[in-house]
Amino acid sequence: EIVMTQSPATLSVSPGERATLSCRASQSVSSNLAWYQQKPGQAPRLLIYGASTRATGIPARFSGRGSGTEFTLTISSLQSEDFAVYYCQQYNIWPPWTFGQGTKVEIK
Amino acid sequence: EVQLVESGGGLVQPGVSLRLSCAASGFRFREHSMNWVRQAPGKGLEWLSYINTDSTTIYYADSVKGRFTISRDDAKNSVYLQMNSLRAEDTAVYYCAGDSGISDWFDPWGQGTLVTVSS
């Protein structure tokens, strides 16, 4: 099973600032990595797939990079609606599909 | 509008069974593999089960293997999760999620249904 590790667990950022979230895989997942955003009481929403491709309707301030075992999600200028929990997921080797434990982006 | 709507959750006692349903609309359901994912209170996402388009390939997480059964009915645009021998640790919000139709990331997701196992 591929273990996904996200850091930090919590990121405190002021509106308008940049946020950078990290995700590490226990073995290579190539570019088969997705990022999801989850707000309280809501289902996860796909942000990024293929490590760097934004899903339909996702603003350009969200960007993903990486391949192999190291990945980042960057939010270039945080808006109020971006404060949420973010999960990475590998879909290179399955089953199981595995998620990171999440990074909470909170208002500083 | 693409939509997945789960139902069937509730408060049950340990040891009983429950069947969750997920109804799809707004996309070609029969062309998508489907998954169930759960989230315990205050915790992260845990993949549980997968079923491919013709139900010939099914997978389960070790945590539910032998207790949960996934199935689908393309005539009803629905996927199901039969949960037997429920335990307190099965308490969670259960989401159905489709594959993208292109590759194996999850999109769309349903809004979730809460299952609480408690005596």
Residue to substitute from A97, A98, A101, A104, interface B, most B β-carbons within 10 A = A97
The residue type at B34: M
What pLDDT band is residue B49 in, cutting at 50, 70 and 90?
very high
B80 in contact with A, Cβ within 8 Å: no
CB pairs under 8 A between A and B: 61
Higher confidence at residue A51 or residue B104? A51
Contact A2, A23 (CB under 8 A): no
**What mean pLDDT do residues B31-47 have?**
97
Of all residues in chain A, the percent with pLDDT exceeding 90 is 100
B106 in contact with A, Cβ within 8 Å: yes
- Please indicate whether, in this complex, the C-beta atoms of B104 and A96 are within 8 angstroms of each other: no
The model's pLDDT over A19-48, given as tens digits with 9 standing for 90+, comes to 999 999 999 999 999 999 999 999 999 999
Please report residues of B whose CB lies closer than 8 A to that of A87: 44-45
The model's pLDDT over B85-95, given as tens digits with 9 standing for 90+, comes to 999 999 999 99
The model's pLDDT over A92-103, given as tens digits with 9 standing for 90+, comes to 999 999 999 999
pLDDT of residue B57: 97
The model's pLDDT over A72-89, given as tens digits with 9 standing for 90+, comes to 999 999 999 999 999 999
What pLDDT band is residue B102 in, cutting at 50, 70 and 90?
confident
pLDDT of residue B67: 98
The residue type at A5: T
Peptide bond into A15 cis (omega under 30): no
- On the question of pLDDT at B103 being above 90, the answer is no
- Please indicate whether, in this complex, the C-beta atoms of B59 and A94 are within 8 angstroms of each other: yes
Distance in angstroms (rounded) separating the CA atoms of residues A28 and B12: 41
The model's pLDDT over B61-81, given as tens digits with 9 standing for 90+, comes to 999 999 999 999 999 999 999
Q: How far is CA B3 from CA A70, A71, A87, B8, B21, in A?
A: 33, 30, 21, 17, 13
pLDDT of residue B100: 84
User: What integer best gives the mean pLDDT of chain B?
Assistant: 97
pLDDT of residue B28: 95
B23 in contact with A, Cβ within 8 Å: no
How many CB atoms are closer than 10 A to CB A79? Answer: 11
Residue B36's φ and ψ, nearest 5 degrees, are -115, 135
